[in-house]
Amino acid sequence: MTEGSGESDRTPSPIGECSPELRSRIDSFEDLVEQNDHFLVVGHTSPDGDAVGSTLALALLLQEQGKTVTVYNRDPIPYNFTFLPGADQWRTDLEGIDPVDVTVLLDCAIPTRIGEDFPEHGWGETVAVVDHHVTWDSDFADLYLRDPKAAATGEVLYRVATRYGAISLDVATNLYCCLMTDTGSFRYSNTSRTAFRVAGELIEIGVEPWEMASEIYENQPRERFELLCKVLNTLSVSAQGRLAFLRVEKDMFQEMDVDEDLTDGFINYARSIRGVEVATQLRDDGSGRWRVSFRSRGKVDVSALAEKFGGGGHYNAAGCVIEAEPDEIEDKLSRALVELLEE
Ligand SMILES: [Mn+2]
């Protein structure tokens, strides 16, 4: 290996607790890789850093094993992840692709999370899931590689990657993106010893933490802040300061010459207010449906609340889609949340 290339020949070791169950799932995933050639990798719509990073990490890992890979998502790659290795392979249509052997869903375990319009021919013979969400649909995939204890889907994939010897810097970069973004830069409650140890291994391979942070968090278009001003103007706090609501409306974008998603992370400002237990953000999708996101400080399991409305997620971060007037949605959620807080 060239000196200074940042790559390492060191074979990374599996880290932390790995149950026999999880280990045997990884065995099955390895078999699936060995027995098939054309893989379609797809993450959830409105992809975040874990969805993008895990999609690209798996794509590159499979390509390194000589496999044919199609990288698909219904939505484009957000601006701050386009620097990631493999991002140039990202496509938002499946026109003219060769038949697929295996579709791997990443960072979600519910088929509709990849988009209700996902084409029939995209599925292929076998469907596998690599995920860490609590919420899942247990009867659509052939293989589930899930670890709800993992800080990110990238952490699960790290375990897979260690099966193939030295991890390349390109794969490591994507895995680090998964861990850094899903833990809120190693701040959220999913930040674990394992997450730090995996991140440490990835740094050992050559990933530069400041470079990653700078690309992902300190490279923001000015328009994002103009939008943030408008969104923060909608802030309302209720239930003795325990609930905070934000709204992102379609017309806020109209005077702006951008169509990329610039709202990622806004909701965290609402949760960061002293005393707020749950922050909720409503986002107008322009067709009478509102994409609702929840962030909890820890007293309320927002995945359970989201599930009641057909969504899901994690204990502290979840979402759903509701069709109603926004005031009505906020009222309904307020009541449900107060009940949960007083349980
Ligand atoms: Mn995730």
How far apart CA 312 and CA 108 sit, in angstroms, is: 10
Q: How much distance in Å is there from the Cα of 268 to the middle of ligand 1?
A: 16
Question: Tens digit of pLDDT per residue, the chain (343 long)?
Answer: 333 444 455 566 667 678 899 999 999 999 999 999 999 999 999 999 999 999 999 999 999 999 999 999 999 999 999 999 999 999 999 999 999 999 999 999 999 999 988 988 889 999 999 999 999 999 999 999 999 999 999 999 999 999 999 999 999 999 999 999 999 999 999 999 999 999 999 999 999 999 999 999 999 999 999 999 999 999 999 999 999 999 999 888 877 777 667 898 999 999 999 999 999 999 998 888 999 999 999 999 999 999 999 999 999 999 999 999 999 999 999 999 999 999 8
Instruction: Give the torsion through C-alpha atoms of 269, 274, 275, 278, to 10 deg.
Output: 10
State in Å: Cα 140 to ligand 1 middle.
20
Quote the ligand 1 centre to 133 CA distance (angstroms).
7
Q: What pTM was computed for the model?
A: 0.91
CA–centroid distance, residue 43 to ligand 1 (Å): 10
**Cα separation, 82 vs 78, whole angstroms:** 7
So where are the chain's domains?
Answer: 20-217, 222-342
Beta strands of 59-187 (E only): which ranges? 68-72, 90-91, 102-106, 126-131, 143-146
CA 186–ligand 1 middle distance (angstroms): 13
Ligand 1 centroid to Cα of residue 255, in Å, is: 32
* Domain 222-342 annotated CATH 3.40.190.10: no
Helix (H) or strand (E) holding 110: none
How far apart are the CA of 97 and the centre of ligand 1, in A?
27
Cα–Cα distance measured from residue 96 to residue 75, given in angstroms and rounded to the nearest whole number: 18
Which pLDDT value is given to residue 120? 86
Please give the distance, rounded to the nearest whole angstrom, from the Cα atom of residue 54 to the centre of ligand 1.
Answer: 9
So what's the architecture of 20-217 in CATH? Alpha-Beta Complex (3.90)
Distance 3 CA to ligand 1 centre (A): 34
pLDDT reported for residue 1: 36
- Give distance in angstroms: CA of 254 to centre of ligand 1: 30
At residue 7, the pLDDT reads: 46
